[in-house]
Chain A
Amino acid sequence: MINAGELRKNTKLMIEGDPYVMLEVQFVKPGKGVAFYKCKMRNLMTGSLLERTYRSGDTFEPAALDERKMQYQYAQGDEYYFMDTKNYEQVMLTAEAVSDAKDYLIDNLEMDILFFGKKAIGITLPNFVELEVTQADPWVKGDSVAGDSKPVTLQTGLVLQVPPFVEEGTLIQVDTRTGAYVTRVKK
């Protein structure tokens, strides 16, 4: 069991049958009075936000979550399929659960899939992913009007600002945490 006093950012706990992750805990205690914990949490199944205030003495069931290394396979409509390369087991994540990570999903990319029981509920991407530039305006040397960055389209459809010298067909590294261009990669 988790005591209210142990609630911290990133604590994963069960509320009314659903797993939640703690986003923010504010400790409030009037002089000599009981302690309160003003909590902001996200439902890991639905993504919805929940704000609740708990008091000292309240207890919670920890959420039993595990992470498994899996490989991205393909998407079909709103369904994204991943495979465990050890036992070839396949799981599906909805577009909602994949969320913005879809911009980085390329064939055979390895990542951690978060499970609640048997159900896959989320993705932890690698910090850096290599993606190919599929559309870019050509670079004209000495073109000062173009500035120091330009938008390009990557193989996943993601549009990104990159330095002007990045050309179509180039492989680039992107930081998935910030969504920013990092560097060109040699093929």
Chain B
Amino acid sequence: MPSLKGLQLRAELFFQIRRFFRNQGFLEVDTPVRIPAPIPEAHIDAVPSHGWFLQTSPESCMKRLLSQGYENIFQICKVFRQEEYGARHLPEFTMLEWYRARADYSHLMEDCENLLDFCIGNLWGKKPFVYQGESPDLSRPWPRVTVSEAFLKHAGISVEDALATDRFDEIMAFNVEPALGANPVFLMDYPMEKAALARPKPGNPKVAERFELYIGGMELANAFSELTDPEIQRERFDQEEKERLQAGKAPYPPPVRFLQALETMPPSAGIALGMDRLAMLFADTTDIAKVNAFTPDEL
């Protein structure tokens, strides 16, 4: 059940976010929700729809727009993922994505700081911002912590060992995320095998330029310096598809036009931010249902 405060804050956030990106000269785009070929990702399952699929994110369409010369674009849209249902997940949820051409993930970290500053400034003014009894320290720059550092600090294990024993996701979920605390933190530089769409970090090809933003221990956004090499992208997709098949999942059609578009896509950075999570943060709730008009159980 939604709370009145939850729905009001949600509406307010939509408004403030559109203002923020308009002010910066971004073009709001509105791409199809139903697509023929989702991006193959091992642990994200698209909902079939009459031979096509509902998007799990607007990534492929937005990157095709980048390749056509639309350089700064954003979108707020519904996305769909099978079987994701819990206090922080709904199988249908709302995503904000934005892309910047000729930028990398460090620009997106600044965007996150600016965007949250803007929203909190307009919605909270001088009032203290509180989430679950704690006031996150929002002074900038927000800490940037590498995944390697976080694994050593919070789990006492190296990322290499975690990957070798197939415990990376488990340690991330049960040791690292709960230890991140109330303050904002950018968890950055993921191992290459955990970032199929990100480019390698110059000078350290073992890690990818990917970050996740956490506030109040809650994952809010995922960002990449985008991989623009169609050949490497094709190989990464093959790997993801292999994992999907091993898990007994049906294969996706190859995203041919997306891969073609990469050939002309400028170096870019892109980010997906969960609008429901952001609304949860602002409405001071740990339950995603409180910021949604209806959950599937209520329909």
Chain A residues engaging chain B, CB cutoff 8 angstroms: 3, 5-6, 25-36, 53, 55-57
For B168, list chain A residues within 8 Å (CB): 33
**B89 close to A32 (CB less than 8 A):** no
The one of A5, A6, A36, A57 that contacts B173, using a Cβ cutoff of 8 Å: A36
Residues of A within 8 A of B44 (CB): 32
> Given the complex of chains A and B, what is the CA–CA distance between A26 and B89 in angstroms?
11
B62-70, B78-86, B231-239: which lies at the interface: B78-86
Q: Which residue of A lies closest to B246 (CB)?
A: A57
Interface of B is mostly: loop
Complex Cα distance A34/B43, Å?
A: 5
Q: Smallest distance from the beta carbon of B177 to chain A beta carbons, Å?
A: 6
Residue among A6, A33, A35 making CB contact with B172, cutoff 8 Å: A33
Tell me, in angstroms, the Cα distance from A25 to B85 when the chains sit together. Answer: 10
Of residues 159 to 198 in B, which have CB atoms within 8 Å of A's CB atoms?
168-170, 172-174, 177, 194
B63 to chain A, nearest CB (A): 17
Chain A minimum-CB-distance residue to B272: A31
Q: A29 and B212: CB pair below 8 A? A: no
Sample of 11 further A-B pairs with CB below 8 A, known A29-B89, A33-B43? A3-B83, A26-B86, A27-B85, A27-B89, A28-B173, A28-B174, A30-B219, A32-B222, A34-B42, A36-B173, A56-B247
Closest residue of chain A to B197 (Cβ to Cβ) is A32
A27 to B172, CA, bound (A): 14
* Residues of the B chain whose Cβ atoms lie less than 8 Å from the Cβ of A53: 170, 174
Closest 10 CB pairs of A and B: A27-B86, A33-B169, A5-B83, A30-B172, A34-B169, A30-B173, A31-B222, A28-B173, A34-B43, A31-B219
Chain B residues in 8 Å Cβ range of A34: 42-43, 169
Q: Which residues of A contact B219 (CB under 8 A)?
A: 30-31
Say whether B194 contacts A29, CB under 8 Å.
no
In the complex, chain B residues whose CB is within 8 Å of the CB of A5: 82-83
Q: Which of A6, A25, A35 contacts B84 (CB 8 A)?
A: A35
Q: Which of the listed residues A26, A32, A35, A55 has the most CB atoms from chain B within 10 Å of its own CB?
A: A32
B104 within 8 A of A: no
- Report the minimal beta-carbon distance from B39 to chain A, rounded to whole angstroms: 11
Alpha-carbon distance between A36 and B172 when the two chains are bound, in angstroms: 11
Q: Nearest Cβ distance between residue B219 and chain A, in whole angstroms?
A: 5
A28 with B86: CB separation less than 8 A: yes
Nearest Cβ distance between residue B224 and chain A, in whole angstroms? 11
Chain B nearest CB, measured from A45 CB (Å): 29
B198-252 contacts to A (CB < 8 Å): 212, 219, 222, 247-248
A-B contact pairs, 29 of them (CB 8 A): A3-B83, A5-B83, A27-B84, A27-B85, A27-B86, A27-B87, A27-B88, A28-B86, A28-B173, A28-B174, A29-B43, A29-B84, A29-B86, A29-B89, A31-B219, A32-B41, A32-B44, A32-B194, A32-B222, A33-B169, A33-B172, A33-B194, A34-B43, A34-B169, A36-B173, A53-B174, A56-B83, A57-B247, A57-B248
